[in-house]
Structure 1
Amino acid sequence: MLRQRVITAVGMAGLFLAAVLLLPLIALAAAFALVVVLGAWEWARLAGWQATAARLLFAAILAGMLLFLFFYVELGNEPRREQIQPLLGVACLWWSFSLLWVKSYPASAALWHSRVMRSLMGLLILSSAWLAAVYLLTLPRGGLLMVALVLVVAATDIGAYFAGTRFGRHKLAERVSPAKTWEGFWGGMACAIALALVLWWVIPARMAHVSLAAVVAVVLMTALASVLGDLTVSMVKRESGVKDSGSLLPGHGGLLDRLDSLCSAAPVFALGLLLAGW
């Protein structure tokens, strides 16, 4: 199983880097849209839609939302800050509510257990993640920013895994994800801060136009959001009575099982860069 997970992870990383380095913006937006629509197919099951037709309809609705956002925000040209910032702000506000729901689960399930609410959650999470990712690509050095986003999420996850495995004693959210601990959480945050310092060294101030404090703040908030995204999808899976979101990725489960942290981190990272003056 470990070997299969490693092979799948390396393959995904290679495809991602090749796409970011070689594909033009329109092709990347389409590729990311395909991944997100496949994620919608998985989320439909988590929302309670079991029939194939219903799951296809859910994926089609999300695809329509992505198409609307592409033209509304003018992602194919140069999207204006006043167009994108409110949408990213709404996405980040949603994750604030999600934090409260995770903290109060299972009592909070009374607010979002219905298929309609879980469907709306999925549409918002997936569409805002795609919007933020494509918007990042329109910024100066957009490919580098996308790689930085993935590195922040990966560093947080890796730091949390090793710190939690070695020192984990106190449960972070036992009713949502029993394996996660506070020690793992702080290990993830420490790795994220270390990565922020490395990024600052790699991307000098004259290129980034932002201060070291801003870089650390953006990376830290992105890392926090990535943990919240993981916990939120775990919460929905637990409420839906499933272990994995799907089986598209050998050794990893479904796409959502790998992209949950990125879905929450992307809008926070993009909005953080905007507010930091990138």
Structure 2
Amino acid sequence: MLKQRIITAAWLAPLVLAGLFGVDGGLFALFTAAIVLLGAWEWANLAGVLRTAQRAQLVAAMAVLMLIMWLTGAATAIWPLWIAAAGWCANLYWVIHYPAKGQQWQSTLRRLVMGLWVLVPCWVGFNVLRESGSIWLLFVLLLVWTADIGAYFVGRNWGKRKLAPNVSPGKSWEGVLGGLASTAILATCFALWLPLSMAGGITLVLITAIVTLTSVLGDLLESMLKRYRNIKDSSQLLPGHGGVLDRIDSLTAAIPLFALFYFEVLVQMLNQGQPL
């Protein structure tokens, strides 16, 4: 298993980095759309759509929707990000109250609709951050990876209080605090490197904390759906790593929320003449 994980990572990591930072514009949108559509294929399975033809039709419908959004300018607009923010509030409610409130989302149709506000705004967020330059896209990717590493290290060594035992028994509150501490250090280092003003640095640290917590929710949401479907991985598309959703679950929450903060806070501070 470890050998297979290493082999997959060896070809996957350069491909992903080249796609995220080596191209822009339409090619970048196409690359990230491909990732999201692979996630949509897996999401259809999580929603209970088992027939291959039906899943293909759903993915094709999402591809058409994304094409329309690109042609109309919605692929870089702010309103899909607000839809994501509202949707993740609902996701938080369901994760907290699982399994008691499961009847509110467990129908196949409702899980498919949930996938729309999880996956499509993630693609929009990617486009928004890439248009702003590579810096903020790089930052949010580092944020998610740093949060995962910090949470894993602290949780493994000191984790005692379960975060969401009905959803993901392995996660602990200590792990969450470890992730928050790690990303706070990352944000501080980033603020010093750019450099940002004192106000800009504090703002970035606060935004980072909120996005870090949201990235944890992204992980928990997929865990909840997999637990309900009684499956370990979203698919076997990435040998040794599970599925695409298993790799981007935290990003589906973090990317659109950070992009929304970028639109509504960071850009607004610049427009008002406040130096970041």
* Normalised TM-score (structure 1): 0.91
Q: Which residue of 2 aligns with 1:127?
A: 120
Q: Which residue of 2 aligns with 1:244?
A: 233
Q: Distance in 1 between matches of 2:92 and 2:124?
A: 21
Q: Which residue of 1 aligns with 2:153?
A: 162
Q: Which residue of 2 aligns with 1:189?
A: 180
Which of 162, 174, 177 is the matching residue for 2:168? 177
Q: For the structure 1 residues 117 and 50, does the alpha-carbon distance in structure 2 shift closer, same or farther, using more than 3 Å as the test?
A: same
| Structure 2 residue 270 is matched with structure 1 residue 277 | no
> Unaligned 5+ residue runs, structure 1?
none
Quote how far apart the aligned CAs of 1:10 are: 4.8
CA RMSD of aligned residues (A): 1.7
Quote how far apart the aligned CAs of 1:96 are: 1.0
| Structure 2 residue 51 is matched with structure 1 residue 54 | no
Q: Counterpart of 1:175 in 2: which secondary structure?
A: coil
Q: Which amino acid in 2 is paired with 1:227?
A: V
Q: Which residue of 1 aligns with 2:271?
A: none
Q: How many residues align?
A: 267
User: Percent identity of the aligned residues?
Assistant: 40
Q: For the structure 1 residues 191 and 86, does the alpha-carbon distance in structure 2 shift closer, same or farther, using more than 3 Å as the test?
A: same
Q: For the structure 1 residues 274 and 149, does the alpha-carbon distance in structure 2 shift closer, same or farther, using more than 3 Å as the test?
A: same
Quote how far apart the aligned CAs of 1:210 are: 6.6
Q: Distance in 2 between matches of 1:221 and 1:65?
A: 29
> Unaligned 5+ residue runs, structure 2?
268-276
Quote how far apart the aligned CAs of 1:224 are: 1.0
Q: Which amino acid in 1 is paired with 2:114?
A: M
Q: Which residue of 2 aligns with 1:17?
A: 17
Q: For the structure 1 residues 231 and 74, does the alpha-carbon distance in structure 2 shift closer, same or farther, using more than 3 Å as the test?
A: closer
> Structure 1 residue runs of 4+, over 4 Å off?
none
Q: Which residue of 2 aligns with 1:67?
A: 67
| Structure 2 residue 18 is matched with structure 1 residue 29 | no
Q: For the structure 1 residues 199 and 10, does the alpha-carbon distance in structure 2 shift closer, same or farther, using more than 3 Å as the test?
A: farther
Asked if the contact 2:126/2:137 (under 8 Å) is kept, the reply is yes
Quote how far apart the aligned CAs of 1:130 are: 0.4
Which of 85, 92, 96 is the matching residue for 2:85? 92
Q: Which residue of 1 aligns with 2:189?
A: 198
Q: Distance in 2 between matches of 1:272 and 1:3?
A: 39
Q: Which residue of 2 aligns with 1:265?
A: 254
Q: Distance in 1 between matches of 2:99 and 2:145?
A: 28
Quote how far apart the aligned CAs of 1:19 are: 2.1
Q: Distance in 2 between matches of 1:21 and 1:210?
A: 29
- The CA deviation string for residues 250-275 of structure 1, in whole angstroms up to 9 with x for no partner, is 21100000010001101111011112
Q: Distance in 1 between matches of 2:193 and 2:17?
A: 18
Q: Distance in 1 between matches of 2:199 and 2:8?
A: 36
Q: Distance in 1 between matches of 2:193 and 2:81?
A: 27
Q: Which residue of 2 aligns with 1:117?
A: 110
Q: Distance in 2 between matches of 1:19 and 1:217?
A: 29
